[in-house]
Structure 1
Amino acid sequence: MTSPGPAVQQPANDESDQVVDGVGTGDGSSTIAANGGTAAIRPGAASSAVAAASAAASVSPPPTSIATLTQLRVGCHVWVHKDGETRLAELLSIVPRKGQPTFYVHYQEFNKRLDEWIKPDRLDLSQPVQWPRPEKPKKGPPGAVSKDTPLSKDRKNRRVRPSKHNKAHPAVKGKENLPKEDKEEDIAVKEETATREDSIDATPDLSQVSEAPAANKDADLMDLDQTHPQMIDSQDDSLFSREEEIKKLRTSGSMTQNVAEVARVRNFMLIQFGKHEIEPWYFSPYPIELTEEDCLHICEFCLSYFGTIKQFQRHRVKCTLQHPPGNEIYRDASVSFFEIDGRRQHTWCRNLCLISKLFLDHKTLYYDVDPFLFYCMTVKDELGHHLIGYFSKEKESADQYNVACILTLPQYQRHGYGRLLIAFSYELSKKEGKLGSPEKPLSDLGLMSYRAYWSDTLTELLIDCYPETRDITIDELATRTSMTTQDILHTLQTLNMLKYYKGQHIICLTNSVIEHNELMKKKRRRRIDPSKLLWKPPVFTPAQLRFAW
């Protein structure tokens, strides 16, 4: 099996080269090696070098003391009773609810999804509380103007407008032609901004990894459920360590695009959706008056939301909807799919986006639903069609994305429904005769699900259709699967199946890949039957593709 095209090589990870070799004092008088190297100190700067070294070494731990409930403040670390044990947690917010303070905590070394609102009785105040370190005032050079003075603001405004001197000397860029005071002030502002951004979210983020080039940083995110580390060659074990990936997903949350303080604090402790009670993961912009309630009640058919159980029960008596308000385009023995136009069903689709925002931290769309189609997967019983999950796609995508947002509700996760949603999105792409890929960047769980699907789909096609696929090319694989060539190449590289042999790249099926394919065949999985898909690609006018501003 051959694949024409340029050589595909995986570059080495550049992060290992980014090491800080030394720390300067700021005035150019001395240089001290920070990684065990030698220090070259000028004779006249010995005292300043010793002072800098002692200051760097004397990083004191945060102060601790026994505290009362009224003394607690945002930023301190307290011990909290959780699942029969005490865990160290950081207080992110303190809000009075119904006459008593309620604390929003983030458990140290645990995923952001486990952040929760707790009541005072769960705090263990018999153990010392770690207080946040006070911020040290930044010392500027003698005669420097404070950043809060009108003169400083005037300098910032003046710096934005290019001067004639800058136009006359285009080779001089940035801060090269600024006065010395402005340079130092600009550096101080940048340092303060970086410190403030670091303090906004103490949980590491995977968005920097997933937005990086696929061959470099995406390789650090392997699927923990379906992808098999034994497929990776021994020389890449350091890059695809299963233990490290578990630690990454355990200590980091989904990608955040809203850095506002309110967006990192979950506003509901519990939601009731049908017969399930679910703990939300993230913030969702529901009406603020509902956040005072202990539980948010959501109708599982029309997705309307209520603050009290009495209001919800009165609504259920009147609600007659028993399935998503769209066309049923697929039905088999287990699931059904409905297509809903966001332009025709404004309220229902907006409510659906509000629900998904509770479990997708990176999701930003929850109001303008007109240019999107929603495909909802349901299971049916005597009461009606119950929502399992959904994915949305743009009516006209300039980047050929076949999925804009995808979610399986938590009560149905780890049952194979997420894989079914992904497979259905590619079946629609096959009907359209296009190649498709999910919109980037993906969340951490979305990236895991897609990589598992890509791996299993390609290995199954190559093995089951052999020897027909003996001389298959990358373009032919893309045509058969509707996957983009970039996704295919990345998956083959991840599975170590792309080899360079006699001047060309070949796809090599290793023993571990074959064994894993046989193991997956033994598992009974739900599959999409293309013959039961009754759907034609919709055609829209330019007016139907616009946002409803």
Structure 2
Amino acid sequence: MSEIGEEKPKENVERVVEGCRIMVKMVSQNEWRQAEIISRSRAQNGMMKFYVHYIDCNRRLDEWVTEDLIDLSSLKMPQRGGKKGGAGGHKGGDDAPDAHDSKKSQGRKRKIPLLPVEVETKPETAPDALPTPAVPSGSTPSLRGSMSMVGHSEDAMTRIRNIDCIELGRSRIQPWYFSPYPQQLTHLDCIYICEFCLKYLKSQTCLKRHMQKCQLCHPPGNQIYSHDKLSFFEIDGRKNKSYAQNLCLIAKLFLDHKTLYYDTDPFLFYVLTEEDEKGHHIVGYFSKEKESAEEYNVACILVLPPFQKKGYGSLLIEFSYELSKIEQKTGSPEKPLSDLGLLSYRSYWSMAIMKELFAFKRNFGFDREITVQDLSQATAIKREDVVSTLQQLDLYKYYKGQYVIVISDEKRQVYEKRIQDSKKKLRINPAALQWKPKEFGKKRTQSIF
């Protein structure tokens, strides 16, 4: 391979176009990896730079690299007739972790253009105002349901991370993916977001001016849960349209497998916050269709990066099922799930089901049988998810003409310890939840996230 810093012949560098595959020096890992060229441009110093997706890596690792980090001898041109900006025309398509799921969903894709955001601008706030988020050229694929997984967009523009940094409250965060913020913001080093109303602003000065006028110290909507400095607020996407749309824009920065739509009317948003003397600070959220024919209890779920790996993801999932219990329904997250989403849900399902099995054994011993339906009703987890979890745990066995649940002593000991350890982690206190299900019309809802 070529040494880093070695001068590349200009004619060879010019051959590197969108859709090519080439070996690239991945500096963060200090290794060479095959990558797909998503886009190219020329830097101010005249050197070519390329936006690359590393094959078999999560797209959050996509980045701009300069020409001195590519090995021209490994260049593979895209096949004729390949999809530009898609999989580069190479056999097998995109090798990203969610490629398998997106292939399964291709038959259900339909293309719907993004709807514009309605922004109210008052004369006195005009200096801080920013235009409506730009709509990508062409159209964006969608599946039924809010923020559905659709695989990677055919438009190369939406495959390129367009925001370098956001400042939200006390955190500066580097986004992972594209989100259709106004094009004027994409040239800034950082965009500034009010952590209470989620309005986006172009400078720290604008943010300070806005904070003097912003009346919020918590998300809009109803506070339906408060316990140990943690709260949940229920926001109606129709009544608080601006907040809901801004929340969706933020979420898209960290969710690759979802398509953003601005019609928030059919959705409720449940925002988790941490409270201190300054107010309630957003940690994460999930959205939910007001009326779901598929019985989904979560459309989209996100914990913001500064709060990840602290147990908040499991808390959001648990809260969604507590709502389902009050509704006296079983629920399930919108399918298909991303790879990380599936891991989070499987972890929650496993613990919830094992707890119920152990509780049943303590209460009834071997005098009564427990069915999958019993487990589903007790946990509010949809029957199909109960079965898939039992199979994944290798507890679902076919014996003498019927399926039975078999727990080995080894597995029992493992989960008894996990359940004991989980008591030290964040949990929902059902007594602190003050909520009643709302009645909505029977009109079918339309897809957003």
Q: TM-score, normalised by structure 1?
A: 0.64
Matched, 1:104 2:51: yes
Contact 2:229/2:274 (<8 A) preserved? yes
The letter of the residue matching 1:527 is R
Please say if 1:494 is aligned against 2:400.
Answer: no
The aligned residue for residue 518 of structure 1 is 416
The alignment partner of 1:199 has SS state of coil
The match for 2:8 among 47, 67, 70 is 67
Over aligned residue pairs, what C-alpha RMSD do you find? 3.2
Counterparts of 1:429 and 1:288, CA distance in 2: 40
Query: Which of 314, 318, 334 is the aligned partner of 1:423?
Result: 318
Q: Report whether the alignment pairs 1:414 with 2:355.
A: no
Is residue 168–residue 193 contact of structure 2 (8 Å, CA) maintained in 1? yes
Report the CA distance shift for 1:386/1:76 in structure 2 as closer, same or farther (over 3 A).
same
Which one of 37, 40, 44 corresponds to residue 94 of structure 1?
A: 40
Aligned with 1:85 (options 23, 30, 33):
30
Aligned mates of 1:526, 1:136 — CA distance in 2:
51
Residue matched to 2:434: 534
Is the 2:85–2:155 Cα contact (8 Å) retained in structure 1?
no
Distance in 1 (CA, whole Å) between partners of 2:421 and 2:447 is 47
- 2:338 maps to which residue? 443
User: Which structure has the greater CA radius of gyration?
Assistant: 1
1:193 Cα deviation (Å)?
Answer: 5.2
Contact map agreement 2:171 2:306 (CA 8 A) in 1: yes
For 2:72, the equivalent position in structure 1 comes to: 129
Seen in structure 2, the aligned counterparts of structure 1 residues 396 and 257 have a Cα distance that, compared at 3 Å, is: farther
CA 1:325–1:95 in 2, change beyond 3 Å: closer, same or farther?
farther
| CA distance in structure 1 between the partners assigned to 2:432 and 2:72 by the alignment | 61
What amino acid is aligned across from residue 129 of structure 1 in structure 2?
L
Is contact 2:82–2:88 with CA below 8 Å preserved after alignment?
Answer: no
Q: Write the letter of the residue equivalent to 1:328.
A: Q
8 Å CA contact retained: 1:78, 1:91: no
8 Å contact from structure 1 (residues 113, 281) kept in 2: yes
Q: CA deviation at 1:110?
A: 3.1
Q: How many angstroms does 1:134 deviate by?
A: 4.4
Taking the aligned partners of 1:103 and 1:316, their CA distance within structure 2 comes to 39
Aligned counterparts of 2:29 and 2:295: Cα–Cα separation in 1: 49
CA distance in 1, matches of 2:436, 2:312: 23
| Greater helix proportion | 1
Matched residue, 2:376: 478
Question: Which amino acid in the other structure matches residue 274 of structure 1?
Answer: G
- 1:198 corresponds, among 83, 87, 91, to 87
1:350-395 CA-to-partner distances (Å, cap 9, x unmatched) read 0000111111112223301000000010100111111111111111
Secondary structure of the 1:468 match is helix
| Matched residue SS, 1:198 | coil
1-structure distance, mates of 2:212, 2:10 = 44
* Candidates 303, 317, 326, aligned match of 2:221: 326
Contact 2:59–2:96, Cα closer than 8 Å, also in 1: no
Q: Once the two structures are superposed, what CA deviation does each residue of 1:488-543 show, in whole Å capped at 9, x if it has no partner?
A: 11111111111223332221112232122222112411111111110000112457
Q: 1:316 to 1:133 in 2, by over 3 A?
A: same
TM-score by length of 2: 0.77
Q: What CA deviation, in whole Å up to 9, does each residue of 1:92-114 have, x standing for no partner? A: 22346778776423345532211
1:115 aligns with 2:115: no
Change in CA separation of 1:99 and 1:369 when aligned onto 2, cut-off 3 Å: farther
Equivalent of 2:260, from 359, 365, 369?
A: 365
The equivalent of 1:456 in structure 2 is 351
1:219-238 alignment to 2 at 5 Å?
Answer: none
Q: 1:328 and 1:318 mapped to 2: Cα distance?
A: 22
Q: 1:116 to 1:537 in 2, by over 3 A?
A: same
Using a 3 Å threshold, how does the CA distance of structure 1 residues 203 and 136 change in structure 2: closer, same or farther? Answer: closer
Q: Is the 8 A contact 2:321 2:331 kept in 1?
A: yes
CA distance in 2, matches of 1:318, 1:68: 56
Query: CA offsets, 1:404-424, max 9 Å, x none?
Result: 111111111111100010000
CA distance in 2, matches of 1:497, 1:320: 53
Residue 82 of structure 1: CA displacement? 2.4
**Equivalent residues of 2:84, 2:154 under 8 A apart:** no
